[in-house]
């Protein structure tokens, strides 16, 4: 009987503990809802400063404008232009020729680096002889899985591009001849031809021209020319965009006129090619080109925007060539 009474008492205590003793202690959790603020004003002694509950902004009077001006855009550093060493370039019937002011070994090394960057992953060189480099077939338009499956049925395989470079010593310079041909399934579709025959391959050749000119300049192969009054006027940035290094002793209008260009009347910051200077086949004589003058540490640069043209890099190359003294 005593054991039964003890068990009942224990169960009661346990039930009371589990209920949180709510029946014994008062819950003050919601008391804040009925609180009343203290409206008693603080009595200040005579001569004391007035108490203000304000947000204090240091030097607020020196801030010109606190109005919201729109979405903040992180400023970007300007693209820096780098000097190029002059590399004469000419077009022959079946090749493009560069007169590179560097030794044969150095020139071959730069061409290999260019092909590696152009190709991307994997080996880019198929043949490497003393006086010639032939690339592996480059697939510039990558086929997806379903495209490759479709080609097995249609037998319509994408063309691949093979580049050839031949090297010939000429005193301290190296004459480089660049050619390309198209292949399909390992078979030649075209013969060796000049990059000038295809706008995309011409663009590759232009990139090579800018790449060689910049690397030779950085290697200081012709360091003595840096201090000349008339250095090579074409500079290039890391994206391959060309700019004209303006002469400080001649105003912009005179330099533009000497290049066979003119400012477009009624259109601010627009250039066009003079009619008598239009080059047949260039398709640029009826175009207008936005331009701007950028100031950098090494001087002022004329940047002509050819991005709206069908082949912008080719157009940019043709425009800046006009500023090279013949």
Q: How far apart are CA 171 and CA 174, in angstroms?
A: 8
* C-alpha to C-alpha distances, 158 to 117, 137, 143, 147, 215, nearest whole angstrom: 21, 11, 8, 10, 34
b/e code 1-36 from CB counts within 10 Å (16+ = b): eeeeeeeeeeeeeeeeeeeeeeeeeeeeeeeeeeee
Q: Measure the CA–CA gap between 156 and 101, rounded to whole angstroms.
A: 43
Please list, in sequence order, all residues whose beta carbon lies within 8 angstroms of the beta carbon of residue 153, skipping any fewer than 6 positions away. none
Structure tokens at 225: 């020319």
Rounded Cα–Cα distance for residues 276 and 223 (Å):
38
CA distance 114 to 134: 13
Report how far apart, in Å, the C-alpha atoms of 240 and of each of 125, 209, 274 are: 23, 10, 26
Task: Return the structure tokens found at 208.
Answer: 């090579």
Q: Does residue 225 register a pLDDT over 50?
A: no
pLDDT reported for residue 72: 66
Share of the chain above pLDDT 90, in %: 44
Q: Which two tokens stand for residue 194?
A: 């000049």
Is the model's pLDDT at 178 over the cut of 90?
yes
Q: Left if phi > 0, otherwise alpha if psi is -120 to 50, otherwise beta: which for 47? A: left
| Segment 85-114, tens digit of pLDDT | 999 999 999 999 999 999 999 999 999 999
**What is the per-residue pLDDT for 231?**
75
Question: For residues 107 and 109, what is the distance between their CA atoms, to the nearest angstrom?
Answer: 5
Tokens of 112: 């290999």
> pLDDT tens digit string along 238-284?
888 899 999 988 999 999 999 999 999 988 899 999 887 655 445 66
CA distances from 93 to 90, 155, 179, 196, 202 (A): 10, 33, 11, 9, 14
Burial of 157 (0-12, 13-18, 19+ CB in 10 A): middle
- pTM value is 0.68
Please identify which residue in the block is written with the tokens 């030794």.
103
Confidence of residue 18 (pLDDT cuts 50, 70, 90): low
Asked if 188 and 142 touch (Cβ cutoff 8 Å), the reply is: no
CB 133 within 8 A of CB 108: yes
**Residue 285 Cα distances to 60, 288, 304, 319, angstroms:** 56, 8, 15, 11
Longest C-alpha distance within the chain, in Å? 126
Residue holding tokens 């090494």? 298
**Contact in structure between 272 and 262 (CB atoms under 8 Å):** yes
Write down the pLDDT at residue 277. 61
């Amino acid at each position: 009987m005593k054991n039964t009474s003890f068990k009942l008492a224990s169960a009661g205590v346990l039930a009371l503990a589990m209920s949180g003793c709510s029946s014994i202690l008062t819950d003050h959790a919601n008391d804040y809802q009925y609180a009343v603020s203290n409206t008693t004003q603080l009595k200040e002694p005579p001569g004391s400063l007035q108490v203000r509950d304000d947000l204090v902004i240091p030097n607020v009077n020196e801030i010109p404008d606190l109005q919201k001006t729109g979405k903040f855009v992180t400023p970007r550093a300007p693209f820096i232009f780098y000097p190029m060493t002059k590399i004469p370039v000419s077009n022959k019937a079946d090749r493009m020729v560069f007169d590179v002011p560097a030794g044969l070994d150095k020139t071959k090394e730069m061409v290999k680096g260019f092909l590696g960057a152009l190709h991307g992953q994997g080996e880019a060189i198929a043949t490497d002889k003393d006086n010639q480099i032939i690339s592996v077939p480059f697939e510039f338009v990558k086929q997806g899985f379903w495209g490759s499956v479709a080609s097995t049925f249609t037998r319509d395989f994408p063309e691949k591009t093979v580049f050839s470079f031949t090297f010939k010593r000429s005193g301290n310079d190296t004459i480089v001849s660049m050619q390309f041909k198209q292949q399909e399934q390992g078979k030649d579709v075209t013969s060796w031809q000049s990059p000038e025959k295809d706008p995309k391959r011409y663009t590759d050749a232009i990139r090579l021209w800018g790449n060689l000119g910049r690397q030779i300049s950085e290697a200081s192969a012709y360091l003595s020319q840096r201090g000349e009054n008339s250095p090579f006027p074409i500079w290039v940035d890391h994206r391959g965009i060309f700019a004209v290094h303006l002469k400080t002793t001649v105003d912009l209008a005179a330099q533009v006129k000497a290049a066979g260009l003119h400012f477009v009347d009624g259109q601010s910051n627009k250039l066009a090619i003079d009619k008598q200077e239009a080059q047949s086949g260039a398709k640029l004589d009826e175009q207008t080109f936005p331009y701007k003058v950028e100031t950098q540490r090494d001087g002022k640069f004329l940047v002509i925007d050819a991005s709206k043209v069908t082949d912008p890099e080719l157009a940019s190359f043709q425009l800046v060539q006009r500023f090279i003294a013949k």
